[in-house]
Amino acid sequence: MLIRITKGGMVVFEYMIKIKSIIDDLALINNRFSDEELITHTLNGLEDEFKKLTTTIRVHDSTIIFEDFYKNYLIRR
């Protein structure tokens, strides 16, 4: 479910809300992902217009926490 989701016609805010909802639903059944996995799946669902952002995040030296990513990188767009 998380692997197949893409932004498609959604605006970024809607896409991030959808991602967060799926993550929360999966957590309810004890299916948890690492922050790195969550960010990777989220970035994979973005279009080419976000290529610069996705490249920057993928080459980032330190680990990014998904909640920080959710709040600071995409929810503002």
% pLDDT > 90, the chain: 35
What's the pTM value of the predicted model, to 2 decimals? 0.80
For residue 70, name the pLDDT band (cuts at 50, 70, 90). confident
The first and second tokens of residue 26, run together, are 């999966």
**Contact (Cβ atoms closer than 8 angstroms) between residue 56 and residue 73:** no
Here the tokens at position 37 are 């996995």
Amino acid at 15: Y
